[in-house]
Amino acid sequence: MRRTFTALLVALMLAGVASAQEFDWRQFEGEEIRFMMNQHPFTDFIEPLVPEFEELTGIDVTLESYPEDQFRQRRLLEVASGAPTLDGYMIMPGQVGAQYLGAGWVRHIDDFVENDSLTMPDLDLQDFFAGALSTFQSEEGLYGLPLQIESSLLFYREDLFEEAGLDGPPETLEELAEYAAALDSDEVAGFAMRGRGAAATSQIVNLLYSFGGEWLNEDGSSALASEESVAALEYYADLLRNYGPPGPTNLHWNEVMSLYAQGEVAMVFDANVFRSIVEDPEQAIDVVRENTRYAPLPAGPDGSVPAVLVWGLSINHASDSPEAAWYFIQWALSKENQVKALLAGVPAARESAWENEEFQATAPESWIEASRESFNRGQPNWNPPVVPVAEVRDAYGQAIVAALQGEPVEPALERAAEEMDQIVARTN
Amino acid sequence: MKRASDFFDRYAQWLFPLPALLAIAVLIVGPVLANFYISLHNWFIGLPPTFVGLDNFQEALADRRFWNGVRNTFYFTLLAVPIQLVLGLGIAVLFNREFPGKGLVRTIILLPMVATPVAIALIWALMFNPSLGVLNYFLESLGLPRSLWVANADLVIPSLVMVDVWEWTPMIALILLAALQGIPGEYYEAARIDGATGIQAFLHITLPSIRSAIVVALILRTVDALKTFDIIYVITGGGPGIASETLNVFAFKTGFQFFRAGYSASLLIFLMFLVLGVAILLNLARRGGK
C-alpha cells in the first residue's frame, strides 16, 4: 500500500514537471559533449570544476585545449568539416565572428533562451556587460555567451601629474594631447601606445571610433579613408611623434608596457589586463607601482568609444547535442562561476561578479571603475568585421607606420582603403 | 637463401640508398609537388579552393610587396655574406696559429652558431630597444648619439645583418679553418726561404689553397641568407611597415596570417627558383675557376 502510494506520488510529480516545462538539470543525462578550448586562464579555471557539472547533470564533458594558434587552426578544421562530435568551442567574435557567422558555423541560441525548460531561471542575460553581450549579437540573434571582457585604459602616473600641476586624468583627447605636452621631458616621454603596424590597429581603433570613424561604410566598402579616420590617424601620429618615445614604429604591447614599467613614459594607453605588469615588483620600478592610476579612454569628437575584446562560448552548428552544450555554457557562465573566475584572475563578463567585495579588495579602485565604465560603453569590433581580418589589419598597419614616419596621412589611408577593398573582395 | 643474397648483391647500389630515396620522396618531393599544386589555386584557408591557373604568379609580378620582398632579400644577403666571409677568414687565420687559451677562445666564438636562433633574436630585440636597450647605452657611454636601430626604416636591414653576422660568421670560420689546417707547412717554409713576405704567402699560398672551401662556405651561407626567417620575423616581423620584409617573411605572412595559401605557395616557388638560381651561378663560378 505504502509503496504504491510513493509510486503514485512520484508519477504525479513527474507529470507536474513535464506539464509545467520546468528547468531540469538532469534532462540530458547520459549525453556526451566535447568543447574545444583555447589554452587560456579561463580554461585553467573551469577544467577542475567540470566534475561538478557532470555530477549535477549526468552529462559527460570532454574539454580539449590547445595553445592559441593551434587552437584556432584545429577549430577551423573541425568546424568547417561539419563533424557532429564537436559540440562547442571558445570563440572571440572580434576575431572570427564575421567568418563564422558568414559560413554558418555557429548555432544561434535564441530558441534555447526563450525555452524555460532549457534555460536556467537565473541566467539573467542583463547581468552581462552590455559591451560583452553585444559582441554575440548578430542580425539573426544571439550566438553565444561572453566569458571574459577586456578593454584598453589610460595608465598614468599621479606623481608626475602633480609635478606638472595637472589635475586628474584627461577627459578629452584634446586634453590628452595637452597633458602629453606638459609631461614630456628629456627623461620621460609624455605618452605612448602601440605603433607596430598591424599590432597597433587594436589600439588605434579606439581613436577611430571616438573620432566617429568606422571600419566599413554602409555598403560594405572600406571606411578607412573617411574624414574621421584621417583625423584620428593624424591625431595619433602627432601625439606619438611629438611626445612619444623614440622609434614609435617599434612599439608592440610589451615595449609600451616595459617603457611604462621602467618609468620612461608618463602615460600609456593599452589593455587593462597589463595592470599585472605594472603591479609586479619584478617588472615595474617602485615609483611606477605606487603612483599608477587608471582612467577610461578620453572622449573624442564622437565621445569615448572604446573597443572591447571578448572571449565566449558558442555551440557548434553541427553538434548533435546542442541542448547539452547549452547546459554546459549556462553552468560555466553562471553568476556563481563568473565570480569564481574573476577571483581566479579571469576578467569576468558579468557585472554582478565585479561587485563582489572580495574581488574589489584585490584591485585598485580606479582600475575597477575605469574598466567597468569601458565594458558598458564598449564597441565589439576591435577588428574589422570581415573574413580576412589579419590582412586588413596589415593594410591599415602600413598606413599607421607611414603616418608615424611623417608621411602625409590622407594618401596613406586612401591606399589602405583601396587595399582593404581588394582584400575583402577576394574572399567574397 | 642463395637467391636472396644474389638479389641483394646485384641490386646493392639501388637497395642501400632506397631508404634515403624514400625519405626524400616523402619529405621533399611530395611537399614541393603539393606546393606547385596549391599555387595554381585561389585558396583562402577555410573556404573551398578554386583553380585559377597561373594567376597567382601574375599577381605576384604586379605586387609592389613582392618586389619589395625580392629587393630586401638581396639587400640582406649581399650585405651579410661578404662581411661574414671577410671576418670568418680573419678568424680562421687567427685560430690557425698557436696562442695561449686558444681552445677556450675558439669555443666561445662558436657559441652564437649553436644557440637557438629564436632565443638569440629575442635577446637582440631587447638590445635594439631605442629607450631601454643596451646598445644605445653603449653608444651613449662612448659619447655617441643614440640610434633607432630596427625602429628606423633605413637602419633596419643593416641592424639585422649585424645579428646575422654575429650568428653565422663562426660557421665560415669553422669551414675555412678546416681547410687551412690541410695546407702542408712545407709550402710556407719554401716561401720563406725564397724571401716571400707574410702577405705574399697569404695571397699566393693560403688563398689559392682554400679557394674551394671559400666557395663552399659562400654557397652555404648565401643559400641560407636568402632564406633567412627566424631573426627577421622575431625581431621586426618585417617592419617598420615592410622595410625589412624579405620574400620568405612575406610568404609566411601571406600563408599563415592572411590564410592565402595559393598566393603564398606561388611566392615560395619564386623564392625556390631564386635560391636555386643563385646556387647554380655560384657553383658554375667554382667550376669555371678550376
Tell me what the mean pLDDT of segment A35-51 comes to: 94
Mean per-residue pLDDT for B56-61? 94
- The interface pTM score, or ipTM, of the predicted complex is 0.83
B102 confidence band (pLDDT: 50, 70, 90): confident
**What distance in Å separates residue B242's CA from the closest CA in chain A?**
8
Judged by CB atoms closer than 8 Å, whether chains meet at B151 and A80 is answered as no
Cβ of A388 within 8 Å of Cβ of B148? The answer is no
How much is the CA Rg of chain B, to the nearest whole Å? 24
CA B148 to chain centre: 26
pLDDT tens column, A155-211: 999 999 999 999 889 999 999 999 999 999 999 999 999 999 999 999 999 999 999
How much is the pLDDT for A373? 93
- Span B219-265, pLDDT tens digits: 999 999 999 999 999 999 898 989 999 999 999 999 988 989 999 99
| Residue A369 confidence class, pLDDT cut points 50, 70, 90 | very high
Q: Name every residue whose Cβ is closer than 8 Å to that of residue B107 and which is 6 or more positions away in sequence.
A: none
On the question of pLDDT at A3 being above 60, the answer is no
How far apart are the CA of B157 and the nearest CA of chain A, in angstroms?
A: 14
Going by pLDDT thresholds of 50, 70 and 90, the confidence category of residue A1 is very low
Q: Is the pLDDT score of A55 beyond 60? A: yes
Q: In this complex, do A249 and B47 lie within 8 Å of one another by their Cβ atoms? A: no
Binary contact (A247, B42; C-beta < 8 A): no
Across all residues in chain B, what is the average pLDDT?
90
What's residue A17's pLDDT?
A: 46
B 160-189 residues inside an 8 A Cβ radius of A: none
* Alpha-carbon distances of A341 from A329, A332, B147, rounded to whole Å: 14, 10, 45
Which of the four pLDDT bands, split at 50, 70 and 90, describes residue B290? low
User: Residue A44, Cα to own-chain centre: how many angstroms?
Assistant: 18
Q: Which residues pair with A163 in a beta bridge?
A: none
Chain B contact set for A246 (CB, 8 A): 130-131, 146, 148, 151
Q: Give CA–CA dist B37/B41, Å, rounded.
A: 7
B115: closest CA of chain A, how far (Å): 24
Report the pLDDT value the prediction gives residue A227, as an integer from 0 to 100.
Answer: 96
For residues A153 and A377, the answer to whether their CB atoms sit within 8 Å is no
For residue range A116-161, what is the model confidence (pLDDT) as tens digits? 999 999 999 999 999 999 999 998 999 999 999 999 999 999 999 9
Three-class DSSP labels, A54-80? HHHHCCEEEEEEECHHHHHHHHHHHHH
A384 in reach of chain B (CB within 8 A)? no
pLDDT at A311: 95
C-alpha cell at A60: 559527460
The pLDDT confidence band at residue A30, using thresholds 50, 70 and 90, is very high
Q: Which tens digits make up the pLDDT trace of B280-289? A: 998 888 776 5
- Mean pLDDT over B113-126 rounds to 90
Q: Residue B268: name the closest of B257, B277, B255 by CA.
A: B255
If one compares A65 and B13, the residue with the highest pLDDT of the two is A65
**Residue A248 touches partner B, C-beta closer than 8 Å:** yes
For B114-143, give the DSSP string: HS-HHHHHHHHHHHH-TTT-HHHHHHHHTT
- Say if B147 is an interface residue toward chain A (CB within 8 Å): no
Is the CB of B241 less than 8 angstroms away from the CB of A103? no
Using one digit for the tens of pLDDT, what is the confidence trace for A270-297? 999 899 899 999 999 999 999 999 999 9
Summary mean pLDDT of chain A: 92
CB contact under 8 Å between B240 and A258, yes or no, is no
pLDDT tops 80 at residue B76: yes
Judge whether A305 and A206 are in contact, CB under 8 Å: yes
Contact A132, A146 (CB under 8 A): yes
Measure Cα distances from B181 to B99, B170, B193 in Å: 15, 16, 21
B258–A390 CB contact, under 8 Å? yes
Rounded to whole angstroms, the Cα distance separating B165 from B160 reads: 9
Cell for B179?
Answer: 681547410
Q: What is the mean pLDDT of residues A213-231?
A: 95
Q: For residue B13, what is the enclosing H or E element?
A: helix B12-15
Residue B187: pLDDT band (50, 70, 90) is: confident
Evaluate whether A25 touches A330 at the Cβ level (below 8 Å).
no
Interface size between A and B, measured as CB pairs under 8 A: 79
Please give the average per-residue pLDDT across A320-333, as a whole number.
Answer: 96
CA nearest to A388 within chain B:
B258
The answer to whether the beta carbons of residues A360 and A368 sit under 8 Å apart is yes
Confidence band, pLDDT 50/70/90 cuts, at residue A4: low
The verdict on A426 touching B (C-beta cutoff 8 Å) is yes
Kindly list the distances between the CA atom of residue A343 and the CA atoms of A44, A45, A148, A247, in Å, as whole numbers in the listed order: 13, 10, 13, 38
Residue B22 has a CB neighbour count (10 Å cut-off) of: 10
